[in-house]
Structure 1
């Protein structure tokens, strides 16, 4: 019950009062005079609304220009966070997409809940009146006790001021997280059908207090090992080759290794592990046969590891970064507000104690958006590993099935930030924990594909192989299902409805014409795709049948292409209608039609004309894999799914590959919705061009059998 309802002053919930004599010394962060004034000047709070149990101060000014903010950011942790946040922001308005202007500086206010949750909201002065949709940066203040681990209380004071991510505290904390994770049932849940381990690993030992290492052939199966995720840069000076295998099996020259490899060996040792797997040192780099064999096992390698070490820094650097501990790491401040009278009853209470600043976008900026995690192969590495230790320039982050933490918050990252880490997407370990049914597993796969397709691959032929480990892991949860060129046989028809996300940038869509990938596979295009039809499968029904018809696995000796890609031809039974005729019937006097068309290869000129001027195109040869993906006057509509509740039909755009219309190539997808009072059968009548009432809404004309390549 709120204080306005009772007339009583609420008891302000204070954080744990930190007494310096009872806690290790807490380094206070560096703040500029402008930011210090926010905490030194006593704010006056007023209630946000009668129904809101929070209070807000008046808007106050901050730095008046971007230049002043930039200058202050070199010595102020808050200004640095603000500059990074606003520099990364873009807004969409009448002028198009552009950066948020900081020419007139920033404003801010303080928000305080009756439970003493404190947040600072900063917004650009140029925005004028702030609204919920206005671009803003949020910085929270958490009780300092949240940022002190049980390990900190046992360390000498000087160890807490950590000037590098490779410090004693950082590595001890990492070992502590791993030991906790090994007790988590979720993290160590066995994965069906994934008991294989890498045949080669790096053995690490100490000799005369120096770390030594060698490539170990067929180490003991039961031994625990770490894996390394890193960005490929220049060709490493030392890598496993047929010519130097004997040397590396004897001993690896650690000083000659890339710095990130040297650091990974050190971290593995500090974690208490004695084996490490690094791709360039455990796979023969000059043997396509070995790459094929090992990459098939990539998913299991990461799934069965004790820990994945991730290097989020650029490829030229190592794992460890130096930092200003008072600017970059665990920024603490002391708050001393003596007269906080939230309900204005004349009975103020003090709010006093040490707090830790938390950037609400910290995980996203330092981990999710790190260059490493934009690489294609890393997607499945992160998803399948039971736990990930990520080294960023700012600090070390930890993620496992039960804990998301960092050096600033070693006991767990508090507040809403963990929502974006944990709950926006389900994890592979969630599927294991819940013993998820096949429908849920397939939904998870297409969510993964939507994220994975936005990443970058150096070798475009790896489009399927770089995700195949994930597919292998999921096949263990649904052993009766068949993986067909990136799609699952159990949901084949609805899975065809993926679409590109590049309508605003058609130049980013590339047809991978050099590889044996069918047009109906999302992997046949090098671009971002979205597979969201799976979100509403439960409220849909199929109006076409799709089965595989002719499956050929590429030879294992064919190293020019992926050995995982299934070259498939689909046999479809459904109804076809002409695109141009249908659009003509559906367009009203104002030139508007209810169709949403998503061509695989967007054509800006066609899009601008609302598909009114589609080009003529002759029947095309199958081998011309680029032209066959473009929509034209020969393009046809193929309904796949009906959503009765939404009165919507979704389907494919297809192009004929031969006269007679028996063989087709995919050209995109479409969606059509009619007003609420209409019925799905009216959509089918629109597609077929028939009039009058229909006896069967599923069959407006004789279904045809054809093939999709």
Structure 2
């Protein structure tokens, strides 16, 4: 007998993989998604061909259910992108311009890899619009065409085919439309496991040997019914490696915004397909993976515990984004420009080289993350203490985009408050092209604040926290505070960078130090308090004069001081030199 919602598994002794600690195999039952037993048995059989027979019906079921029953996902046909591939006939054709009016189309999310076999340029555009054969395309593009055809989607958008490569003007114009391309697509096709466009993603999946068995079960109405299910023996698999947990597509920086923006995504993973829309996340194997996926509202600002608007969701997204591989450092801002456009449209906030003007003083508090364990197939190398600041300009030094590696943000913490002594005077960036959320060629931020003075001391990374985050204790000596009464920690953007003379610090924010009680004789805290005022951590950015340009500064890192008390610290700041500081 089977009860609603149960999957049946039976442990059946030792397997041949005795070197593994969990060396038991088990019996399980598969049924197809359209079986009467599907509500009682969760597991689904994975067929070899992902787009034939029942797998195709499963995908069509997901699309139909999403289009007809999901209010958040309800589809309104929209205008096509500037160029699309017409897949309705045997001979393919790039349409330039695309047909007017509302139409369905699919968009491909893929890893280019090293394959450059079918790029559209200004020189070959006429050839593309006259038509080409399916066999002319690399494997991933062929598979995308096949997918669109079997799902009766007439048009397909592929970035490297529909945007003119090597044409800066066309790239900037079309890049600025990326938000609409993915958010308006009927379906985004995710080539999850293809490292390169030459690989393709419609591969035969491994089939598990099964034995058909008859299942007798009782319906809610009187009577008994006999149906067939598949009995299988599953050997325990080793815990998936990092490359299996994070397929190639999910390591590509450009693909993060594609995932946030697409209302429906069909991912072709190594062993099965999985579906994501705004209301459901399902695996072809029969499991509902999650009730929530990454989507556009997840990057919108939220009201924090202090009642102010915080861009912490944006910082969270950037934190993941900077762990991903990107081929060209100049793409760091363009690859999130579509998300930035949507946030600006929703909030009216002003964008500043990856940060937001309304929350800029907190947004400046990013810091590099020392990553020794990173995803396999991720091209971003582990942190190198000898890394140098890039010679070519990518972003102002105060922007996270100026750092070549993974970053995190202090501004994610909801308990972070801007010090009343810090005022944003002005901030501006210059964008050279037609995408105001893309590349920048210059920028500055001016802050009115007291300045702390520090002297750098030699340091090494010797604690677990320092190995993980790159924050060091006692690498700075303050000329303004009694250093035996506070702990000063710092994190330099490029530790090996030559810095001469005194460093300046701009204190920006404070937060309560949780469960910390302070005694000057015990830097680790004591069992009693000396005042009713809470003890605080104060954080800010480290700056130094730009070489050859007096009174203009560059960011070189960030710092924290604790424990201090707010009123005494503000009184202390009032006695310091206050100035407008321009950081570039």
TM-score w.r.t. the length of structure 1 is 0.63
1:109-258 residue pairs with structure 2 within 5 A? 144=29, 148-150=32-34, 162-183=47-68, 184-188=70-74, 197-206=80-89, 211-216=90-95, 217-258=97-138
Paired residue for 2:478, among 577, 582, 595?
582
**Cα distance between partner residues in 2 of 1:265 and 1:564:** 32
**Cα distance between partner residues in 2 of 1:148 and 1:550:** 58
Q: Provide Cα deviations, 1:44-83, integer angstroms capped at 9, x if missing partner.
A: xxxxxxxxxxxxxxxxxx67xxxx73xx8xxxxxxxxxxx
Alpha carbons of structure 1 residues 660 and 171: separation in structure 2 relative to 1, 3 Å: closer
Alpha carbons of structure 1 residues 572 and 430: separation in structure 2 relative to 1, 3 Å: closer
Alpha carbons of structure 1 residues 578 and 360: separation in structure 2 relative to 1, 3 Å: farther
Q: Is the 8 A contact 1:166 1:321 kept in 2?
A: no
* SS of equivalent residue, structure 1 residue 182: helix
Determine the structure 2 residue equivalent to 1:323: 205
**Cα distance between partner residues in 1 of 2:400 and 2:579:** 25
Q: Provide Cα deviations, 1:259-318, integer angstroms capped at 9, x if missing partner.
A: 111110110112221111011211122422212211121122111111110112231311
Q: Provide Cα deviations, 1:535-557, integer angstroms capped at 9, x if missing partner.
A: 22565545311233554332559
**Cα distance between partner residues in 2 of 1:448 and 1:367:** 22
Determine the structure 1 residue equivalent to 2:195: 314
Q: Provide Cα deviations, 1:384-418, integer angstroms capped at 9, x if missing partner.
A: 11121111221111111211111111x623xxxx3
Alpha carbons of structure 1 residues 491 and 563: separation in structure 2 relative to 1, 3 Å: closer
* SS of equivalent residue, structure 1 residue 299: helix
Determine the structure 1 residue equivalent to 2:313: 444
1:97-108 residue pairs with structure 2 within 5 A? 105-108=19-22
| Bigger Cα displacement from structure 2, 538-547 vs 265-274 | 538-547
Q: Is the 8 A contact 1:164 1:322 kept in 2?
A: yes
Determine the structure 1 residue equivalent to 2:576: 701
Q: Is the 8 A contact 1:554 1:562 kept in 2?
A: no
Q: Is the 8 A contact 1:367 1:373 kept in 2?
A: no
Aligned length: 506
* SS of equivalent residue, structure 1 residue 667: strand
Determine the structure 2 residue equivalent to 1:466: 335
Q: Is the 8 A contact 2:274 2:284 kept in 1?
A: yes
* SS of equivalent residue, structure 1 residue 643: strand
Deviation at 1:450, TM superposition (A): 0.7
**Cα distance between partner residues in 2 of 1:472 and 1:579:** 39
Q: Provide Cα deviations, 1:413-452, integer angstroms capped at 9, x if missing partner.
A: 3xxxx37xx37xx6314578xx966976722211111111
Determine the structure 2 residue equivalent to 1:673: 562
1:423-502 residue pairs with structure 2 within 5 A? 427-429=295-297, 442-479=311-348, 481-502=349-370
Q: Is the 8 A contact 1:431 1:441 kept in 2?
A: no
Q: Is the 8 A contact 2:337 2:437 kept in 1?
A: no
Q: Is the 8 A contact 1:500 1:527 kept in 2?
A: yes
Larger Rg: 1
Is residue 527 of structure 1 aligned with residue 410 of structure 2? no
Determine the structure 1 residue equivalent to 2:458: none
Q: Provide Cα deviations, 1:581-610, integer angstroms capped at 9, x if missing partner.
A: 41896554xxx962221110134xxxxxxx
Q: Is the 8 A contact 1:187 1:429 kept in 2?
A: no
Determine the structure 2 residue equivalent to 1:22: none
Alpha carbons of structure 1 residues 188 and 469: separation in structure 2 relative to 1, 3 Å: farther
Q: Is the 8 A contact 2:189 2:267 kept in 1?
A: yes
Determine the structure 1 residue equivalent to 2:246: 369
**Cα distance between partner residues in 1 of 2:425 and 2:238:** 45
Alpha carbons of structure 1 residues 160 and 354: separation in structure 2 relative to 1, 3 Å: closer
**Cα distance between partner residues in 1 of 2:236 and 2:352:** 43
Deviation at 1:652, TM superposition (A): 0.5
**Cα distance between partner residues in 2 of 1:270 and 1:174:** 10
* SS of equivalent residue, structure 1 residue 408: coil
Alpha carbons of structure 1 residues 470 and 487: separation in structure 2 relative to 1, 3 Å: same
Gap regions ≥5 residues in structure 1 = 1-11, 20-35, 42-61, 73-104, 110-119, 121-138, 337-352, 604-626, 685-693
1:255-334 residue pairs with structure 2 within 5 A? 255-312=135-192, 313-315=194-196, 316-326=198-208
Alpha carbons of structure 1 residues 570 and 222: separation in structure 2 relative to 1, 3 Å: same
**Cα distance between partner residues in 1 of 2:263 and 2:26:** 30
**Cα distance between partner residues in 2 of 1:562 and 1:482:** 10
Q: Provide Cα deviations, 1:613-651, integer angstroms capped at 9, x if missing partner.
A: xxxxxxxxxxxxxx5xx5554222211001146511111
* SS of equivalent residue, structure 1 residue 666: strand
1:511-550 residue pairs with structure 2 within 5 A? 511-515=389-393, 517-537=395-415, 541-550=419-428
Q: Provide Cα deviations, 1:113-148, integer angstroms capped at 9, x if missing partner.
A: xxxxxxx8xxxxxxxxxxxxxxxxxx999x857x64
Determine the structure 2 residue equivalent to 1:570: 445
**Cα distance between partner residues in 2 of 1:475 and 1:361:** 45
* SS of equivalent residue, structure 2 residue 327: coil
**Cα distance between partner residues in 1 of 2:235 and 2:103:** 38
Determine the structure 2 residue equivalent to 1:102: none
Determine the structure 1 residue equivalent to 2:431: 553
* SS of equivalent residue, structure 1 residue 388: strand
Deviation at 1:514, TM superposition (A): 0.8
* SS of equivalent residue, structure 1 residue 519: coil
Determine the structure 1 residue equivalent to 2:271: 394
Determine the structure 1 residue equivalent to 2:487: 594
TM-score w.r.t. the length of structure 2 is 0.75
Gap regions ≥5 residues in structure 2 = 39-43, 216-229, 373-382, 456-476, 515-535
Alpha carbons of structure 1 residues 17 and 462: separation in structure 2 relative to 1, 3 Å: closer
**Cα distance between partner residues in 2 of 1:428 and 1:168:** 34
